Structure 1
């Protein structure tokens, strides 16, 4: 339960003392707003609607006249009447969520803050400053602006539910369309997970249509599936219906739908077009290797670049190096978004390419653009990783993705974020060699299911879910050995391959089902 306090004192001279009384008068999670703050309910609900693990604040993005430094949704520095910041990136909204487990940390600051007379006037700002200076992790919920208090609550809530950091096509096309369907879903009180399942089924229809060479209907179904994929997230954010299972189902279904669409295109021309399964398998491998390393790099970067070193409250400067304020607009910003080749752009290419140029040209283009994106992104990340050094800690989630069947620590290596993807590439290469590089539907199916299995490992590792049940997936050496025996004894076209894939598919479903039964998920 979250206790909401919209006023910390009846008179400003007693603010710090009243704040102290509030912190000591409860063991519940606490949300405190400045008395004079005028804030619309849907905006305040971002802090008050459910419990969190970390301190959380609200801030307005891209405010070079602001009073805070934020990177990767983490608060790094705060400005007060007695303290300066090197680079202003955001404007803090005077409110803070304090989790119950962090109440002692907040309470212990009050006596130190009393040395600053201005803390009596602006207690919340000084409390946030003190927490940052102590090295506490403070999450930042970013908003574009502070809407008027009398804003239409339903429209504002829907606006806040719409993601602002999507790719170009998703932001300017899909999200505009998805709002219509989101309103319908809300009117019918549809659950986010139900919408995800419907989106998945529409994606299955898209793959079936592609496999029948019905490219126009396949393209339409694929785009509609992507729109519904926007809707489920918007409904979840609007209604605050979040769960680990929902996040897992949403993320995994996207991968399955995309791989099925690629397989459907290959199947449609597998007779007349030679090596079409080679193209389909390469497209799948390329996307898997790129995507897995994207997740790992982001997680490592956030663990390293947003850690705040404790500094004295009496120190006026924040001790940070100057930062460049990166505005989320303009040609360069959106060009970089497109180069990253996100899901909206990939699925748009699959849809338009299939209709205009057919399966073969579409897959070749998908591989070519995917490779260019991989090269551009990885080169930039390798150069960035040089700054990190090799003494990297708290990144055990990378080690857990090794899937080797034994403990092998490589996360303390500055390029460790790429080694899990490298192991996947090695595994796919070994399996392809077992098939004598004769790319067929069986090999594609194997790579498909194993790739999805590694996505499950990734999501479990990032969510700190115990890896104790991973032996069911046989680990990398066990899978390769099993496939080697089956192919050498029964041949590359054996029906045993689909049965192996079925087994791994059931393991994936079972591991996902564990989230349904877990409390708080």
Structure 2
């Protein structure tokens, strides 16, 4: 479960007022094109029911009766300081993660899901200024400013970079080269809720410094960043999100939302973004559609995993025949075993069905299929009689198995060690300081330190990943499972088991040296 807080008091306009006059509460804005013609607020509550059936809404006294007509608790607040203190009260009593959203939000279900399932302990929805430079400037390149630019009706007073929020501005706090606006939704892990409550109270005491255009979530992100919390970024990737201030904007938003294919976005999100070259271009281009077909027919990820296991065992059996047609059939079967290995995860993400058993089956039987195929190839070499008694091929198979097992052991142990390693603390800055110069100077100093020695070498290699050819070369050199299964299928079908094992050993050895070197360097940096 997730503790949901809805903000019923949106900020005032930063520039010209609304064309139609005053802002209309989300409870009074109807969505005629949606099933049942709900209000903006009513639709949002329906979307959030699975997260929190009794959300807390913070609203002005005049709007509170309309909000009370719906499910959940309503807390009245007369001003921005009251909003912050009410939110602090909720955060102090939270026993789950928190999702904070404006009550005037129109959003796809998929966007809400992606925000709440993100791995970052704190993440905010942003819109990036397309004209802003992506590179991080040094403090001397520009002076902090209280910008008057607007993105989607909200002040562009946020600086983002390096995958997180770097600095946030208000009517009082100046920011160096702002390049984004905070749209409103903010998701926090439970471990940050106590700090959020403390920060919100401190911000409430400074409320007299802020302007009517300053949003509650904008202030919260300001406080968290200045307390050293890494607030990650979420940009809309085909999902729809908008804040509507009156009926005209809601009507426009409904038309815009109708132009989005949310199911296609959900399907695209079911594919892991960090997949290897072979998986990306030769499997995921169509496996997602198999996943959707399977999910719509009620198949579970575990059932798909069993299909993958069966195909892997059939592949091993085909290789074990020692015939040319057996080798071709085994190559085709091992390819589709890998396809369904990808499909099971895509079904889980598309249908949102996750379980400990499924994760264990997937991780364990990937190795089982691979090693079964090793045995099948070696057995086939013996049966064929082309390699004498096959002892040499069996030796290659055992060495390949040992190499791959060693690589898996290193992967898991390094991952476990990384999880135990605390992240480097970010610089902090008092909320009363009116600009971000000291914050950015400290970030620049840290960056300069990292640019020297081992850290500098790693940074150069990381930056080189911006080039597409280098990016995919790095993906392939580590010899991930997709490339391994492709190498097995191609070499076994075109050549013989000895060539297959030599390919696995040479490529696997290069991958082991590359990954071990990288991990040693990261441990020393």
- The TM-score bracket by the shorter chain reads 0.5 to 0.7
Q: 1:70 deviation in Å?
A: 4.5
- Kindly state the Cα deviation for residue 175 of structure 1 after the two structures are TM-superposed: 0.4
Q: Where does residue 385 of structure 1 map in the other structure?
A: 523
Residue 32 of structure 1 aligns to a residue whose secondary structure is strand
Residues 244 and 310 (structure 1), Cα distance of their counterparts in 2 relative to 1, 3 Å cut = farther
Cα offsets for 1:111-165 (capped at 9, x unmatched): 3334362697133233234334434465666765655744222112111111111
Residue 18 of structure 1 deviates from its aligned partner by: 2.0
| Residue from 305, 313, 328 that aligns with 1:204 | 313
- Shift in Å at residue 102 of structure 1? 4.3
User: Paired residue for 1:473?
Assistant: none
* Pick aligned residue for 2:470 from 332, 336, 351: 332
| Structure 2 Cα separation of the partners of residues 173 and 104 of structure 1 | 47
Residue equivalent to 1:185: 294
Local SS of the residue matching 1:67: strand
Q: Partners of 1:282 and 1:142 in 2: how far apart?
A: 46
C-alpha contact 1:76 1:308 (8 A) present in aligned 2: no
2:413 corresponding residue in structure 1 = 296
Partner of 1:312: 429
Q: Is the 1:6–1:33 contact (alpha carbons within 8 Å) kept by the matching residues of 2?
A: yes
Partner of 1:47: 115
Any gaps of 5 or more consecutive residues in structure 1?
A: 388-521
Per-residue CA distance 1:469-516 (angstroms, 9 max, x = gap): xxxxxxxxxxxxxxxxxxxxxxxxxxxxxxxxxxxxxxxxxxxxxxxx
Rounded to whole Å, the distance in 1 between the matches of 2:297 and 2:223 is 46
| Equivalent residue number for residue 222 of structure 1 | 334
Higher helix share: 1
Distance 1:38 1:326 in 2: 39
Please give the alpha-carbon distance, in whole angstroms, between the structure 1 residues aligned to 2:186 and 2:124.
5
Matches within 5 A, 1:481-492: none
User: C-alpha separation between the residues in 2 aligned to 1:286 and 1:3?
Assistant: 47
Instruction: Indicate how the Cα distance of structure 1 residues 250 and 325 shifts in structure 2: closer, same or farther if over 3 A, else same.
Output: same
Q: Counterpart of 2:201 in 1: which secondary structure? A: helix
Distance 2:413 2:184 in 1: 33
Q: Following TM superposition, by how much is the alpha carbon of 1:357 offset from its aligned partner in structure 2, in angstroms?
A: 0.8
Give the Cα–Cα distance (whole angstroms) in 2 for the partners of residues 197 and 59 of structure 1. Answer: 40
- Per-residue CA deviation, residues 1-47 of structure 1 (Å, 9 max, x unaligned), is 32444545245494553243244246364311246665432112223
Q: How many residues align?
A: 382
Q: Is the 8 Å Cα contact of residues 11 and 212 (structure 2) preserved in structure 1?
A: no
SS in structure 2 at match of 1:269: helix
Deviations 1:251-270 (A, max 9, x none): 11111111111121111113
Deviations 1:424-464 (A, max 9, x none): xxxxxxxxxxxxxxxxxxxxxxxxxxxxxxxxxxxxxxxxx
What is the alpha-carbon distance in structure 2 between the residues aligned to residue 325 and residue 16 of structure 1?
43
Quote the residue 1:278 is aligned against. Answer: 395
Stretch deviating more after TM superposition (145-154 or 264-273): 145-154
Distance 2:466 2:404 in 1: 25
Q: 1:146-165 counterparts in 2 under 5 A?
A: 147=240, 149-150=257-258, 151-165=260-274
Shift of 1:98: 3.1
Equivalent residues of 1:8, 1:22 under 8 A apart: no
Match 2:195 to one of 105, 111, 115: 105
2:134 paired residue number = 64
CA contact (8 A) 1:9 1:19 kept: no
Distance in 1, Cα, partners of 2:265 & 2:464: 26
**Does the alignment pair 1:21 with 2:138?**
no
Matched, 1:175 2:284: yes
After TM superposition, give the deviation of residue 364 of structure 1 in Å.
0.7
| Paired residues of 1:76 and 1:306 also in contact (CA < 8 A) | no
Deviation, 1:208, is: 1.3
Residues 229, 17 of structure 1: CA spacing in aligned structure 2 closer, same or farther, 3 A cutoff? farther
Name which of structure 1's ranges 51-60 and 203-212 shifts more when overlaid on structure 2: 51-60
For residue 348 of structure 1, the aligned residue among 453, 462, 486 is: 486
Q: Give the Cα separation in 2 of the matches to 1:143 and 1:329.
A: 23
Give yes or no for contact 1:16–1:120 (8 Å, CA) kept in 2: no
TM-score with structure 1 setting the length: 0.64
- Distance in 1 (CA, whole Å) between partners of 2:212 and 2:513 is 50
Change beyond 3 A, Cα 1:102–1:386: closer
Q: 1:243 to 1:60 in 2, by over 3 A?
A: farther
Alignment of 1:109-508 (within 5 A): 109-114=199-204, 115=206, 117=210, 121-136=214-229, 144=237, 147=240, 149-150=257-258, 151-213=260-322, 214-270=326-382, 272=388, 273-301=390-418, 304=421, 306-309=423-426, 311-314=428-431, 316=436, 317-318=439-440, 319-320=442-443, 321-322=446-447, 330-387=468-525
- Taking the aligned partners of 1:334 and 1:102, their CA distance within structure 2 comes to 36
**Aligned residue for 1:474?**
none
Distance (whole Å) between structure 2 residues aligned to residue 87 and residue 121 of structure 1: 15
Deviation at 1:332, TM superposition (A): 0.9
Contact kept? 1:2, 1:51, Cα under 8 Å? no
Please name the residue that 2:21 is paired with.
none
Q: Is the 8 A contact 2:270 2:288 kept in 1?
A: no
Assess, with a 3 A threshold, how the Cα gap between structure 1 residues 211 and 16 changes in structure 2: closer, same or farther: farther
CA contact (8 A) 2:126 2:233 kept: yes
Deviation at 1:172, TM superposition (A): 1.3
Equivalent position of 1:9 in the other structure:
9
d(CA) in 2 for partners of 1:340, 1:40: 37
Deviations 1:187-226 (A, max 9, x none): 2111112211221121111111111231111111111111
